[in-house]
Chains A and B, each alone.
Chain A
Amino acid sequence: MKEIFPGIFRKGNELYTVNAVPGKRVYGEKLTDNYREWIPDRSKLASAILCGLKEMPVKPGAKIVYLGASTGTTVSHVSDIIGLDGIVYAVEFAERVMRKLMDVAKDRKNIVPILADARKPEDYSWVEECDVVYVDVADPQETELSLRNAEAFLKKGGYMLIAVKSQSIDVTKDPKLVFKEESEKLKDYKILQIVDIDKYQKDHALVVAVNQ
């Protein structure tokens, strides 16, 4: 097993993080020693790593605003990586999945669950300034809401990671065109990479941009 980014390990085509809650599974993943498998089919961030992500801003001690936290699959791995000195503000709008997310957060003291609409950052304005804004919401206005959240919470030099689902932006357009148009909206940011993760998540890409 090789550490490819701080706190992230790779063995062949499998990814692992160090389980912050030894012996406990979050979503049926494999546990080996104190490592927890990070399944790319279940997590866009994991897919991006396997599809050639060059820079990984989610690292030990990082402060992260995570929009669209869902049941906490990816959030749990983010929690593993950042450790207890880091913090992840996990924003999710749907109550059904929030219950599951709260169960995950109960064992992990670096997850702050927030039931709120990511389109309205003023609704959770008490969140601190962060190093990363990670966005995974299936909304036609995803890029716009990412910008609004980044403006509020992202520090200078901080990273924005946006998992874009071309189907949610416009079902009629070609995915490649959608990714291009969406990244053009980020003109005040420097786009470092657009990782095509179609291999694991159909018609998805992860846009990595930095706040200059």
Chain B
Amino acid sequence: MKAAMAKCPFGIFIFDEQGNILASRLYPKDPQKALELFGEKTPKELLDQLKGYELKTKSSEADSMLRVRIREIGLEIFGSHENMNEFLSEFGMAFTRSRMKKAVGRDNLIIQASNALDDINKSINLFVTRLREWYGLHYPELKLSDNELIKSVCELGARENFPKFRSSTGTGLVPEDEEILMKYAALIERMHEDKKGLEKYVKESVRETMPNFSSLIDPLLAARMLAMAGSTERLARMTASTIQLLGAEKALFRHLKQKGKPPKFGLIFYSPYVQNAPEGKRGKMARFLASKLMLAARIDYYSKRDESSRLKKELEEEIGRVLA
């Protein structure tokens, strides 16, 4: 004779082929405890009651037989819809809470750090533009790169302290003007330092969690691709073509709506393999790199072996063949 088992938040129920309940075991009325038992294996004393039956422990037929009776069973235990629903609500809370804990991993921390790095880069740019405009009122003839400008204003202050200073059409500074400008430059300088620390952290953490992926592509770029994908798991599930177009979603959808050319690359373009290739070959390079990245992402997530040297060698061989 056959029997099938199904579980619900109230307990375990075993049905025969006609849908009669052969045996059951109720959980306690505490949602947290019920959830714990719900996740455990079938207790032995219940199985002992079913000697002589061929028992299926996972059965969608039994699930539906139980499903139509859950209300009835629950009402018997709790006396009212209201009390029964309250129990189910708390069971759902506990069920969800136990799943949430597992879902946040190290990759989520890296994603936040990588996004923070993007933010800080944008902020530095904004601040430098302001500094240039501000200091330009005083010394418009000065031609320096961003980093040199920050450093010089921070260390030297007014134009008179620059070794190469001759004359200027800009306005003069009183000591208060100079002080506040130097402080502002120092602030940018510090952001610059902090950015380096953040960069180092992102690089190292990415190399640790995604050794294969980050061996094929700059770790900071790897982190940005991870951020676009959402998690190492989602990245591992992506097809090579999706990886190839990460960051080119706007162009892709424009193309799908039958306006415009299909994009060949997204973030992947910033890899020297793609960027340094001759123009007609870039799409091909992007395709090669993406397919290797796809393999790397899966190795990183599922087996965690380090196959970076093999992947890198294979990729370079393929690229060499095309460029030759």
Are A95 and B103 within 8 A (Cβ)?
yes
Jot down 13 A-B pairs with beta carbons below 8 A, ordered by A. A84-B81, A84-B82, A85-B81, A102-B97, A105-B89, A112-B88, A116-B99, A125-B67, A126-B9, A126-B38, A128-B68, A152-B64, A171-B257
* Residues in chain A near residue B307, CB distance under 8 A: none
Are B100 and A111 within 8 A (Cβ)?
no
Report the separation of the CA atoms of residues A179 and B109 in the bound assembly, to the nearest whole angstrom: 40
Are B8 and A95 within 8 A (Cβ)?
no
Whether, in the assembled complex, A198 has its beta carbon less than 8 Å from a beta carbon of chain B, the answer is no
Per-residue contact bits, chain B 41-83, to A (CB 8 Å; 1 contact, 0 not): 0000000000000000000100110011011001000000110
Report the separation of the CA atoms of residues A171 and B249 in the bound assembly, to the nearest whole angstrom: 13
Per-residue contact bits, chain A 40-68, to B (CB 8 Å; 1 contact, 0 not): 00000000000000000000010100000
User: Which A residues are closer than 8 A to B by beta carbons?
Assistant: 61, 63, 84-87, 89-90, 95, 98-99, 102, 105-106, 108-116, 122, 125-129, 152-153, 155, 171-172
Selected contact of A105 from candidates B92, B99, B100, B104, CB within 8 Å: B92
Q: How far is the CB of B141 from chain A (nearest CB, A)?
A: 51
Are B89 and A111 within 8 A (Cβ)?
yes
Per-residue contact bits, chain B 92-103, to A (CB 8 Å; 1 contact, 0 not): 110111011001
* Residues in chain A near residue B139, CB distance under 8 A: none
Give B104's nearest chain A residue, CB to CB: A95
* Residues in chain B near residue A98, CB distance under 8 A: 96, 100
Report the separation of the CA atoms of residues A210 and B258 in the bound assembly, to the nearest whole angstrom: 37
Give A92's nearest chain B residue, CB to CB: B96
Whether, in the assembled complex, B194 has its beta carbon less than 8 Å from a beta carbon of chain A, the answer is no
Whether, in the assembled complex, B86 has its beta carbon less than 8 Å from a beta carbon of chain A, the answer is yes
Are B93 and A110 within 8 A (Cβ)?
no
Count of residues in B whose CB is under 8 Å from the partner chain: 33
* Residues in chain A near residue B6, CB distance under 8 A: 125
Known: A105-B92, A106-B93, A128-B67. 4 other contacts (CB 8 A): A86-B85, A113-B93, A115-B95, A171-B257
Whether, in the assembled complex, B7 has its beta carbon less than 8 Å from a beta carbon of chain A, the answer is yes
* Residues in chain A near residue B64, CB distance under 8 A: 129, 152
Selected contact of A126 from candidates B7, B85, B93, B257, CB within 8 Å: B7
Selected contact of B256 from candidates A99, A106, A155, A172, CB within 8 Å: A172
Are A172 and B258 within 8 A (Cβ)?
yes
Are A84 and B70 within 8 A (Cβ)?
no
* Residues in chain B near residue A126, CB distance under 8 A: 7-9, 38
Report the separation of the CA atoms of residues A127 and B85 in the bound assembly, to the nearest whole angstrom: 12
If A95-B103, A126-B7, A126-B9 touch, does A109 touch B85 (CB 8 Å cutoff)? yes
Are B89 and A129 within 8 A (Cβ)?
no
If A126-B8, A128-B71 touch, does A115 touch B96 (CB 8 Å cutoff)? yes
Report the separation of the CA atoms of residues A113 and B100 in the bound assembly, to the nearest whole angstrom: 12
Whether, in the assembled complex, B302 has its beta carbon less than 8 Å from a beta carbon of chain A, the answer is no
* Residues in chain B near residue A115, CB distance under 8 A: 95-96, 99-100, 103
Are B92 and A89 within 8 A (Cβ)?
yes
Report the separation of the CA atoms of residues A153 and B70 in the bound assembly, to the nearest whole angstrom: 12
Are B85 and A125 within 8 A (Cβ)?
no
Report the separation of the CA atoms of residues A171 and B255 in the bound assembly, to the nearest whole angstrom: 10
Are A112 and B100 within 8 A (Cβ)?
no
* Residues in chain A near residue B70, CB distance under 8 A: 128-129
Are A171 and B256 within 8 A (Cβ)?
yes
Whether, in the assembled complex, B265 has its beta carbon less than 8 Å from a beta carbon of chain A, the answer is no
Are B89 and A95 within 8 A (Cβ)?
no
Are A113 and B85 within 8 A (Cβ)?
no
Are B96 and A129 within 8 A (Cβ)?
no
Give B58's nearest chain A residue, CB to CB: A122
